[in-house]
Structure 1
Amino acid sequence: MRAYAIGDIHGHLNLLLTAHNLITEDMARHGGPAPVIHLGDLVDRGPDSRGVIEHLLHGQARGEDWVVLKGNHDRMFSLFLDDPAAQDPGLRPDYSWLHPRLGGATTLASYGIHAPGDRPVAPVHADAMAAVPQAHRDWLASRPTMHRLGELVFVHAGIRPGVAFEDQTETDLVWIREPFLSDDRDHGALIVHGHTALDAPMHYGNRLNLDSGAAYGGPLTAVAFEGREVFHLTPSGRVPLHN
């Protein structure tokens, strides 16, 4: 069973297009099409969140075998559009989505909204409601939070250890760090996730972290799976990723 996955994108359309090109080249070398799972955090911090959403939405519409999961940043964007006063339960109470550290203003700027981080929230929200297409809102809000494929389970942030996959909460799936990151037990599948930025993808045996810090100027990671075997895709080909 072959599949592909891409880590946290964070508004970097150019990096996403490069990752898709690497996957297309790998498919040509290794037996043709296979599903591509995107691990969420499509938006925030990078320069073209709108372009990322349009690329993925239109790709699915034309029949690409792409799974696009919901990340915590995607959920915060949807929540802001629904109710600018609402607070995501996973977010520190002293933060809002428009806090400079989170990058929400950059996402709104990609939709042509003027100075979204420097004006009162009410007019910024009104501008967002006018600028963000309903199709984008519907698509973003409907993203799944888990994808299971053979011995692989794809999520944005991780899972709550010891809880059955079907009983995981959305907030854990898009926000969790501990106790997941330090738990070394066998979860019954290889958990493929992002959310916690590293300098490079890392295989821990029971989980695989693909967030290589595109949000902070790092690369965007794409990998290929052959069963539970993992290969980092590079311009020169596959590089095995071992724990």
Structure 2
Amino acid sequence: MRQAWQTSLHAAVKQSICINVLGFGQFSKILRHWQRNSRACGLKARIPQGHRVYAIGDVHGCADLLAVLLERIDADDFAREPAETTVVFLGDLIDRGPDSARVLDMVADLQTRRNVRLIVGNHEEMFLASFGSGRVLRQFLQHGGRETILSYMEDADAYARLTIEELREQLPRLVPERHLQLLRSMDNILMIGDYVFVHAGIRPGVPLAEQSEQDLRWIRKDFLDADFDPGFVVVHGHTVAPDVISGSCRIGIDTGAYLHGRLTAIGLEGVTRWFLHEEKAIASPMPVVSA
């Protein structure tokens, strides 16, 4: 039986074709339509008293953006009243961008001085699965994994000479155990107060305890198009948009670090929300893909 990620990857590639045909502007209009038409959740979402949360969208190997955004978060946190602060990463730390290895080092270092919670994304899922299968590794490399592997290798020519099976055999030596432990420690879902943090979204109508890993890491259209009131606010990444997509029951903060040069974090305290961004110019935007 095929693994869940393979089924989702096939669907994501099909949707990628549709997105490219529509054009990214039209895709963004669809997301804004979702924002305008989502129903009120019937509550004023709240973080428990004395707590503060910063959630960071898909980093995708953009270590330069993450470094500055973490500085902004530190400054913002320091400027506010003392609180128990949690930093949440919404998954897809790796792939596409040039510095995945450095990103994982930065996150591991952050864990030594901050309360950090990590949500697993579909790209972490594919990366870990690549260690056991050359076939999976080949597909991983085609969806941003090549850049991740190169971030661990000094010689791009040496990488190019490797067969898939040779590369798979080298992975345990290339990737530090520290990084593997970090990737394997990630959660599928995190709830703090009236907020649920996931990578991709949730399956409408399914209780949180019964959500599948496939949906939490891969879902897109069935979540984005749904008009439903789960009784909490879902904070997620996975679906790229030029700006934050803020509906009444869901907030998407994947603003395309690797695509648009913009990495976003949302701050949450009590009933207050605010956003922090770090941006850089992208000379030649990459094509929109959805895996």
- 1 CA distance for matches of 2:182 and 2:218? 20
210, 213, 216: which one aligns with 2:259: 216
30, 41, 57: which one aligns with 2:108: 57
- 2 CA distance for matches of 1:76 and 1:196? 17
Shift of 1:134: 2.1
- 2 CA distance for matches of 1:28 and 1:142? 28
Shift of 1:142: 2.2
Alignment of 1:99-110 (within 5 A): 99=142, 102-110=143-151
Which amino acid is 1:137 matched to? L
- Residues 1:190 and 2:233 aligned together: yes
- Residue 149 (structure 1) aligns with: 192
**CA deviation map 1:163-209 (0-9, x unaligned):** 11111111110100021001121112100000000001110111000
Bigger radius of gyration: 2
Identity within the alignment, %: 36
Shift of 1:234: 4.9
- 2 CA distance for matches of 1:52 and 1:145? 20
* Structure 1: tracts of 5 or more residues without a match: 88-94, 236-243
**CA deviation map 1:83-114 (0-9, x unaligned):** 33348xxxxxxx81111xx1101000000164
Q: TM-score, normalised by structure 1?
A: 0.86
- Residues 1:132 and 2:183 aligned together: no
Change (3 A) 1:131 1:149: same
Aligned residue pair count: 225
Shift of 1:158: 0.3
Alignment of 1:15-164 (within 5 A): 15-33=65-83, 34-60=85-111, 62-86=112-136, 96-99=139-142, 102-112=143-153, 114-115=156-157, 116=159, 119-164=162-207
Q: Which of structures 1 and 2 has the larger relative contact order (alpha carbons within 8 angstroms, sep 6+)?
A: 2
**CA deviation map 1:196-224 (0-9, x unaligned):** 00001110111000000112133000121
* Structure 2: tracts of 5 or more residues without a match: 1-46, 279-291
C-alpha contact (below 8 Å) 1:223/1:233 kept by paired residues: yes
RMSD of equivalent CA atoms: 1.8
Shift of 1:129: 2.1
Which amino acid is 1:41 matched to? D
C-alpha contact (below 8 Å) 1:151/1:227 kept by paired residues: no
- 2 CA distance for matches of 1:48 and 1:125? 20
Alignment partner of 1:136: what SS?
A: helix
C-alpha contact (below 8 Å) 1:184/1:206 kept by paired residues: no
Which amino acid is 1:167 matched to? E
**CA deviation map 1:8-36 (0-9, x unaligned):** 00001111111111111111121235111
Moved over 6 A (4+): none
C-alpha contact (below 8 Å) 1:192/1:208 kept by paired residues: yes
The answer to which structure has the higher helix fraction is 2
Change (3 A) 1:212 1:172: same
- 2 CA distance for matches of 1:194 and 1:117? 32
- 2 CA distance for matches of 1:16 and 1:151? 26
